[in-house]
Amino acid sequence: MKNKLILMQKYSQQNHPTIKSIQIIEGKNNFPISWLNQQGYCEYQIYLEYMKGIKTPETKSMRKGTDIHNELEEKFIESATPATFDDVVEMSKSEATISRECFVISAEDGIRGFIDEIWMMPNEIVIIDDKPGTRAYPSTINQVRAYCLAFKNMTDDERPIKGALRERGTENIFWSEEFDENAEKEIRYKINRMHALLDGQKPFIATKNKNKCRPCRFSACCKECKL
């Protein structure tokens, strides 16, 4: 497979006046896809971090994740040639490519983010998100499904799209699924809920599971903490 460094395309946006990291694109709130992972863990974290602007120091596991990620990225760049998103999609119809940190955006669904790794092959597209451990949580599945949706919205490609979770720093793909109609319907439901939270139509619900509060970096300042 050929390593291709996909250049990030430009788009016009405005920052949301009060919510950190929300951009307004084509008149609609647009949030980072990684928030879907956080939403599945505890929606209240999103409220504290982005609506209230509470900052916490980086945890040990966040630091470790960033280090592994950067190492892989540096190694990849050494052998990758730059190309536009559209060129890589077209080229991969006849020759398989691998790209890392591929930016995807859907103004229609109000989501954007960077795909850890994407394999574009003549017969299918595989979208990979690297995670610590080997357990496929609903929250991590939601994240990878949203990348699939954003990718799908950016192309008219007919190839099947597969979402996959891989153990960080290894080749071990421990979960994968075809991004079919059902997966698309389910992730749209989650995305719409997130927009309803951000628009103030629904309240952010805190987890009832104290095992989630224990390692939470917001536990010291969270009035909903169950500990």
Separation of CA 91 from chain center = 25
Establish if 50 lies at the interface with ligand SF4 (CB under 6 A).
no
Residue in 211, 207, 213, 216 with CA at minimum distance from that of residue 43: 207
Distance CA 203, CA 199 (A): 10
Neighbouring residues of 123: CB distance < 8 A, sequence distance ≥ 6 = 159, 160
CB closer to ligand SF4, 22 vs 213: 213
Establish if 44 lies at the interface with ligand SF4 (CB under 6 A).
yes
CB closer to ligand SF4, 198 vs 216: 216
CB closer to ligand SF4, 37 vs 99: 37
Kindly indicate which of the ranges 86-94, 112-120, 121-129, 218-226 contains the residues binding ligand SF4, using the contact rule CB under 6 A.
Answer: 218-226
Establish if 213 lies at the interface with ligand SF4 (CB under 6 A).
yes
Q: Computed from CA positions of residues 67, 69, 72, 76, in that sequence, does the dihedral angle turn out positive or negative?
A: negative
Establish if 222 lies at the interface with ligand SF4 (CB under 6 A).
yes
Here the tokens at position 148 are: 């699939």
Three-state DSSP state, 110: coil
Q: Looking only at residues 149 through 188 of this chain, which bind ligand SF4 when binding is defined by CB under 6 A?
A: none
Least CB distance to ligand SF4 at residue 153 (A): 31
CB closer to ligand SF4, 15 vs 209: 209
Establish if 216 lies at the interface with ligand SF4 (CB under 6 A).
yes
Q: Which of 23, 37, 45, 140 binds ligand SF4 (CB under 6 A)?
A: 45
Establish if 30 lies at the interface with ligand SF4 (CB under 6 A).
no
Here the tokens at position 93 are: 């119809």
Q: Distances from the Cα of 44 to the Cαs of 38, 52, 91, 168, 197, in angstroms?
A: 9, 10, 43, 26, 10
Kindly indicate which of the ranges 11-19, 37-45, 55-63, 89-97 contains the residues binding ligand SF4, using the contact rule CB under 6 A.
Answer: 37-45
Establish if 51 lies at the interface with ligand SF4 (CB under 6 A).
no
Three-state DSSP state, 191: helix
Three-state DSSP state, 10: coil
Beta strands 97-106 and 111-120 are antiparallel
Q: Which of 35, 85, 179, 218 binds ligand SF4 (CB under 6 A)?
A: 218
Binding residues vs ligand SF4 (CB under 6 A):
42, 44-45, 48, 206-207, 212-213, 216, 218-219, 222, 224-226
